[in-house]
């Protein structure tokens, strides 16, 4: 056997030590999962490109989120939630509408929006991001469970592009407190910084 002078431990020929590859066929669960993952990634990338090219001065949710009220500022749990929602999760990217130039409508903050993008292949999909301000569709307990398990109140999993979050209990509590402090007509709620739950 003739050895490769560059790599003495290897014989000549690229087929000498073939690498085994695992290929997920389209008919297997792994293949379907991979297709869904690629479609989700592609749709999210398209959303980002759309947002960046639609406006001459693209802004992130953290740049244009409404200023916190004094009541919100005085509550560290709410402020922690605001940081997670506006700076980490960037929830407004889907849950807040934009104008024709791609700029956020601040008076419609977290009031839900139709998504301007869709997957490239058939898959489970949520074409509309529901309103989050005031948590109109969940109780606090339901929202806490949702943020920690990625499951909706009826036990079904979230549909892409919504991530199946796995927040810890304290972070979930903070997110819920912040969303509850937002008025259902945009902005923040009354002097106590809270708003009643409107569970469906």
- pLDDT score of 191: 34
* 3-state DSSP assignment of residue 177: helix
What is the reported pLDDT for 199?
Answer: 32
pLDDT at residue 170, rounded to an integer: 98
Q: What is the pTM of this model?
A: 0.66
- On the 0-12 / 13-18 / 19+ scale of CB atoms within 10 A, 192 is exposed
Tell me the C-alpha distance between 173 and 144, whole Å. Answer: 6
pLDDT for the residue 60: 77
The residue behind tokens 């939630």 is: 81
User: What pLDDT was estimated at residue 184?
Assistant: 80
Using CA atoms, how far residue 89 sits from 9, 68, 80, 114, in Å, is 50, 17, 12, 18
3-state secondary structure 93-158: HHHCCECCCCCECHHHCCCCEECCCCCCCCCCCCCEECCCCCCCCCCHHHHHHHHHHCECCCCCEC
Q: What does the pLDDT profile of the chain (200 residues) look like in tens digits?
A: 555 555 555 555 555 555 555 555 455 556 666 766 676 776 666 666 555 554 445 577 888 898 999 999 999 999 999 999 999 999 999 999 999 998 999 999 999 999 999 999 999 999 999 999 999 999 999 999 999 999 999 999 999 999 999 999 999 999 999 999 998 875 554 333 333 333 32
Rounded Cα–Cα distance for residues 83 and 6 (Å): 54
């Amino acid at each position: 056997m003739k050895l490769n002078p560059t790599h003495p431990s290897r014989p000549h020929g690229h087929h000498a030590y073939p690498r085994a590859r695992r290929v997920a066929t389209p008919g297997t669960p792994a293949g379907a999962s991979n297709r869904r993952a690629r479609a989700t990634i592609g749709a999210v990338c398209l959303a980002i490109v759309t947002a960046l090219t639609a406006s001459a001065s693209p802004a992130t949710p953290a740049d244009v989120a409404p200023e916190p009220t004094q009541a919100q500022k005085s509550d560290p749990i709410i402020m922690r939630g605001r940081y997670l929602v506006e700076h980490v999760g960037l929830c407004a990217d889907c849950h807040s509408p934009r104008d024709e130039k791609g700029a956020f409508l601040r008076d419609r903050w977290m009031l839900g929006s139709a998504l301007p993008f869709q997957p490239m292949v058939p898959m489970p999909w949520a074409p509309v991001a529901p309103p989050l301000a005031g948590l109109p569709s969940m109780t606090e307990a339901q929202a806490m469970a949702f943020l920690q398990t990625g499951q909706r109140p009826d036990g079904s999993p979230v549909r892409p592009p919504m991530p199946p979050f796995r927040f810890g209990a304290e972070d979930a509590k903070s997110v819920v407190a912040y969303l509850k402090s937002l008025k259902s007509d945009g902005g923040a709620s009354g002097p106590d910084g809270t708003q009643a739950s409107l569970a469906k």
